[in-house]
Structure 1
């Protein structure tokens, strides 16, 4: 499998862990949305987090949505994932160009700005669960770390990285989420904090061609790491012409009739995968007829 997520435990289930390699799905997102390097980095980080957080959910039909709305030039990002490793997403402004930050890195924080992170879990209940926190840096990994602590009361370490080639394609992408269970002992907490402090950055690990397993082994080898499973992950959009037609029906007969009166075919674009669907005048007339 190319892109995949590893799920694991350590320290007799006191630590639960997720790690992923996501280069191919982030590169696919870059190619379909034609994103600039800083937007590729921002969207790639959120897609990686979404894939791992989607795999945390239990129900087969559960859906996770991560939404960032910020004051920076990107304006916002939306990512949706399911429990099977399928993930999709888009940036509101895909072509943002910014100077590197003071560390010489892509300035994701500057591109995102100040704002809110929303985590929406549709678990098949009447109302979805919605957790919201302020962005602490706009760098995404830190924002999700804060979200887990503030909204779900789960002490977590989130690391997300995207490395670009000189031709602006994606060289490496991936990350991990390490979480402490409520019954974690002090010695485990202290030991994990010490090990995490020794890591220079997730991108340095990715750039050494380390797999998710190797990264987890590097961090958690002293804690009795147990890998429980591996699942493939990919950029996948479930849009179809039939689904788009339902969206057209929902705008109402009056508005559809106005489109018909304009005597021009319409094109509908899927935000998530940039697929274009054209509807001819005859097809619009059929939609009106069927919705009568």
Structure 2
């Protein structure tokens, strides 16, 4: 089944709700970066959170999330857009920690409980919007929730879940985001808080075959919801050989000449997707000429 995200509203429009099945998307990231189980869960949760935030902007507008914690995973960086595309990487993909006290993947141990959670929104304006908050949990769902409340003043609840198989492959991955709109009553907030405390993990609901719409139905129980949109989501990187060529040109003629003489070519690797781009001596000569002309 194609990964997708469902957008909905409930309680007469006072609550916006989003749920996503991102199993294939996270699986693609795991394969590209060869992540081990704890890094897989950390990167996967951040990718899911990025998709949820990305679904609140339009089209090609982008949202970048950077989680810079004190744990062994290092930085986790994810970029998404309003069209359902997401890409990302974890600085140290080979982190595999023992299960935590609850018998779950120790994402907090990989991320760490000290550090900065930052978000940059590029909405096509003169200046991108940036906000940052301290890491409050390291489990990431709480960190997205805290960021939205503190930096964007949107009372929210974010749930992120990745289930990793014994061979490090991704079994299921998904999440939800609930946002209270201005004017939402205390009763609505209290009812949802109680319901969220009783929820099973999203990965468990996905294991049971629930779709994003069914997850939202489950969250809101007897309260009717209105599905506004369904959006296909996927791991997609916008890197290209042309983009890397511009980067090589910017290095200048001397460095390009060294690549020609010493390495007899060059290979560029995209950090976000691990795609490799090879440049022959002849191609580097052409780029060197462009650098001269510029």
TM-score (norm 1): 0.96
Deviation at 1:37, TM superposition (A): 0.6
Structure 1 residue 140: deviation in Å?
0.8
Secondary structure of 1:182 counterpart? coil
Q: For 1:127-169, what per-residue CA distance to the aligned partner results, in whole angstroms no more than 9, with x for missing partners?
A: 2111101111111111000000110111100000001222221
Report the Cα distance in structure 1 between the residues aligned to 2:101 and 2:155, rounded to whole angstroms.
29
Distance in 2 (CA, whole Å) between partners of 1:266 and 1:87 is 27
* Structure 2 residue 217 is the aligned partner of structure 1 residue 229: no
Secondary structure in 1 matching 2:13? coil
Contact kept, 8 Å, 2:9 with 2:225, in 1: the verdict is yes
Between the two proteins, the alignment pairs up a number of residues equal to 291
1:179 maps to 2:186: no
Is the CA contact 1:110–1:138 (under 8 Å) kept in the aligned structure 2?
yes
Secondary structure in 1 matching 2:48: helix
Map of 1:218 onto structure 2: 218
1:263 CA displacement = 4.4
Q: Is the 8 A contact 1:71 1:112 kept in 2?
A: yes
CA offset digits 1:1-60 (Å, max 9, x no partner): 5100000000010000110001101111111110001111111111111112111013x3
CA offsets 1:171-226 (integer angstroms, 9 cap, x no match): 11000000101110122112212211221433332332221111100111433211
- State the partner residue of 2:61: 62
Deviations 1:229-270 (A, max 9, x none): 101000001111111111112222232222223242111100
- What secondary structure does 1:262 align onto? helix
Unpaired segments ≥5 residues, structure 1 = none
Counterpart of 1:155? 155
Instruction: State the distance in 1 between where 2:237 and 2:48 align.
Output: 15
Distance change >3 Å, CA 263–CA 89, structure 1 → 2: closer
Q: Which moved more, 1:245-254 or 1:41-50?
A: 245-254
Cα contact 1:12–1:224 (8 A) shared by 2 = no
CA separation in 2, counterparts of 1:48 and 1:181?
Answer: 22
- Aligned partners of 1:181 and 1:268: how far apart in 2? 45
Rounded to whole Å, the distance in 2 between the matches of 1:218 and 1:94 is: 34
Q: What pairs up with 1:3-42 in 2 under 5 angstroms?
A: 3-42=3-42
SS of the residue 1:98 aligns to: coil
Q: How does 1:254-265 map to 2 (within 5 A)?
A: 254-265=254-265
Cα separation, 2, equivalents of 1:199 and 1:110: 23
For normalisation by structure 2, the TM-score amounts to 0.95
Paired residue for 2:164?
164
Measured against aligned partners, the alpha-carbon deviations of 1:76-110 in whole angstroms (never above 9, x if no partner) come to: 11111111000011111111121111111111111
Aligned equivalents of 1:209 and 1:240: distance in 2? 37
Contact 2:45 2:161 in 1 (8 A): yes
Instruction: Give the CA deviation at 1:125.
Output: 1.7
Distance, in Å, in 1 between the alignment partners of 2:247 and 2:55 is 28
The aligned residue for residue 95 of structure 2 is 96
Contact 2:250 2:291 in 1 (8 A): no
Please identify, of 190-199 and 31-40, the stretch whose mean Cα deviation from structure 2 is larger. 190-199
